[in-house]
Structure 1
Amino acid sequence: MSETAFLETAVRAAKAAGALHLYYREQEFEVSSKTNFSDLVTFVDGEAERVIREVIGQAHPDHAVLGEEGGQDRESRFLWIVDPLDGTVNYAHGFPVSCVSIGLEVDGVRTVGVVFDPNRDELFTALRGGGAYLNGARIRVSKTAELLAPALLSTGFPYDVARDRRNLEKLERVLALGLPVRRPGAAALDLCYTACGRLDGYWEYGLKPWDAAAGLLILEEAGGRYSRLEGGEYAYGDALLCSNGHLHTALLEVLSA
């Protein structure tokens, strides 16, 4: 089966989950905590993942799915990596920054990436070697070449930021340069916004595979660059630094020390 067919599956699954986001946004739904008061999970997370698994399972029954809520169901060369609702805390508060993220790895190589923001009806897609797109139009990273205003950056914080304070010091360094920094709260969208030039760079500690699998491919296909925050090849769970490429060295100098 072709990679285009895999992309079509990812888009169908993402849009089905996004429709649930919109429907339940107007309803009362159950909210609970995974580990502390800021690490929330909703009924919608589980329902959206169930629908995504159904769509993928019907189209590719021998493929594996790794979801944030349900874990990995089997072993396969084809691994779908799913965040059914990235930005759950935002969603639970009615703050409209959330999305669905679906990536496909084939033999460990990121091959398909889809991020759907139902709040804005924005669909980010990428196939390895085929470029990155927003609602069907080609996207590219920004051309910002200097780490000066008006460069715009974003970051995120772990749920246990009271104990893990590493990023507070990094944020202080960037703010001391006079650069604006945003904290939207949905990692997949931070990656896509860097890919389409809305952001010039983004960094965060401790992302899981479902946070980054789709967005990293979209960023790469849009001409962006990513690495460990300390430099070197990135692996899931490392501190991540993303940029338009032009600013990467300067950001490493500021953030890696």
Structure 2
Amino acid sequence: MTSAENIDAYFDCVLGLTKIAGELIREKVKAGVKVNTKDCDIDLVTETDQEVEKLLINGLKTNFPSHKFIGEETVASGQKCELSNSPTWVIDPIDGTMNFVHAFPHCCISVALFIDAAPVIGIIYNPTLEQLFTAKKGQGAYLNGEKIHVSKVATMNKALLMMENGTSREPERVKTVFANHQILIPKLHGTRTLGSAALNMAMVAMGAADAYFEFGIHIWDIGAGEILITEAGGVVIDPVGGPLDRCSRRVLCASTNDLAVEFTKCLQQYYPMPRD
């Protein structure tokens, strides 16, 4: 099931589907976007999110009928989020929907294949800027076919941090976000935000940024980013330290272990509920 030949077949199939989905996103940006809301006025979903997820799941099911799926929009419609040892595709059809709605050119398709509850394939594709990030377990990470690596930054005072406010307006989470801004900004070289967890992680993987953390994300936001960063030489852990719990809705990634540890020592923590 996990032979190199099978992994290559899975990768080739999902890559072709992802490129088709990217073309759909480009067309919808030009034509205009119909928007609905989820939990609040800034937690958005579009018909294109649903179309892209359906395209990917149907295409993968046709080729791999025994595989399981965790998709952002199918979970939102009531399907249980369950990561087992079975081959499972974890899909965010448009990560950065707010950006997509505004035609801000930083949204992406994020797809990962998990086997034995760990990622073996990751694809992050920004079709607007034609940025295609790919990774296969043990084979490195790539941007448009060129191998990428994390930076060697090991201290916060030299680090560029990707940092998001998120869509949740839950008071305790907002308080934590503001507290971490106050704690971190004086310690850092700088902060940036792209409005997409997957693209933030891609920036770390390619060495354009040095760290990223967030509370409130989901497994579909970080599934592809995890393998992209680890294959590029970086680390992905829980924000308090220790192994990543992929269903905890918490993540910290960094170019080096030393940098990750420094962040764990100063972050104000938040534990989103419910878990994925």
**Is contact 2:179-2:268 (8 Å) kept?**
no
Q: Percent identity?
A: 31
The reply to whether residue 159 of structure 1 matches residue 167 of structure 2 is yes
On the 8 A contact 1:83/1:211 being kept in 2, the answer is yes
The normalised TM-score by structure 2 is 0.87
The equivalences for 1:104-115 within 5 A come to 104-115=113-124
Q: Which residue is equivalent to 2:70?
A: 66
1:243 is the counterpart of 2:254: yes
- Determine which of 85, 88, 101 is the counterpart of 1:92: 101
Large movers: runs of 4+ above 6 Å: 73-76
| Counterpart mapping for 1:86-235 below 5 A | 86-149=95-158, 151-161=159-169, 163=171, 164-165=173-174, 166-235=176-245
Can you list the C-alpha shifts for 1:110-145, whole angstroms capped at 9, x where unaligned?
111111110111111111111111111111001223
- Quick one: distance in 2 between partners of 1:112 and 1:55? 17
Match of 2:28 in 1: 24
CA distance in 1, matches of 2:85, 2:241: 31
Asked whether the 8 Å contact 1:110–1:217 carries over to 2, the reply is yes
TM-score (norm 1): 0.93
Which residue does the alignment assign to 2:54? 50
Q: CA deviation at 1:7?
A: 1.0
Distance verdict in 2 for CA 1:107–1:162, change over 3 Å:
closer
Cα distance in 2 between the residues matched to 1:102 and 1:161: 27
* Partners of 1:80 and 1:162 in 2: CA distance: 30
Q: Unaligned stretches of 5+ in structure 2?
A: 270-276
Q: Distance in 2 between matches of 1:181 and 1:256?
A: 17
Q: Is the 8 A contact 1:86 1:100 kept in 2?
A: yes
Q: What is the aligned residue count?
A: 256
Any idea what SS the aligned residue of 1:66 has? strand
The equivalent residue for 1:14 is: 18
Distance 1:64 1:108 in 2: 12
Q: Write 1 or 2 for the structure with the bigger share of helix.
A: 2
1:76 offset after TM fit, Å?
Answer: 7.6
CA contact 2:241–2:261 (8 Å) conserved in 1: no
Spell out, residue by residue over 1:149-198, the C-alpha distance to the aligned partner (whole angstroms, 9 max, x if none): 4x211112332235222122112111122531112110001111100101
Three-state SS of the structure 2 residue aligned to 1:219 is helix
